[in-house]
């Protein structure tokens, strides 16, 4: 991530929102609209990144589950032809679909 640290907090003297960037506080009213837009976009991007990382973790779990399910389904057929009784699902899945 960037060294930029953005937090919103209430200013105790004027109750005007402040934004802290790299350890320095700025009143929201002192920042240009372009800067405020950039901050909002960056915060949205960070939130999206967190969501996508969680989604990838879910995909990894589901992929593992279905890999194991595929292995169980092909195990009876594969036991007769395999020497060690195990076959990598990724090999099986890609063997019929050469690149």
The predicted-structure confidence for 31-75, as pLDDT tens digits, reads as follows 999 999 999 999 999 999 999 999 999 999 999 999 999 999 998
User: What's the whole-model pTM score?
Assistant: 0.53
What phi, psi does 96 have (nearest 5°)? -85, -5
**Between 24 and 91, whose confidence is greater?**
24
Alpha-carbon gap, residue 78 to 87, rounded angstroms: 8
Closest C-alpha among 59, 61, 72 to residue 92: 72
pLDDT at 96 over 60: no
Alpha-carbon gap, residue 49 to 2, rounded angstroms: 14
């Amino acid at each position: 991530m960037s060294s930029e640290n953005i937090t919103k907090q209430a200013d105790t003297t004027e109750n005007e929102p402040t934004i802290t960037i790299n350890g320095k506080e700025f009143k929201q009213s002192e920042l240009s609209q372009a800067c405020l837009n950039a901050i909002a976009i960056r915060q949205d991007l960070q939130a999206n990144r967190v969501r996508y990382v969680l989604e990838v973790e879910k995909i990894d779990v589901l992929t593992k589950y279905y890999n194991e399910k595929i292995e169980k389904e092909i195990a009876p057929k594969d036991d007769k032809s395999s020497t060690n009784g195990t076959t990598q699902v990724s090999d099986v899945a890609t063997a019929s679909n050469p690149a």
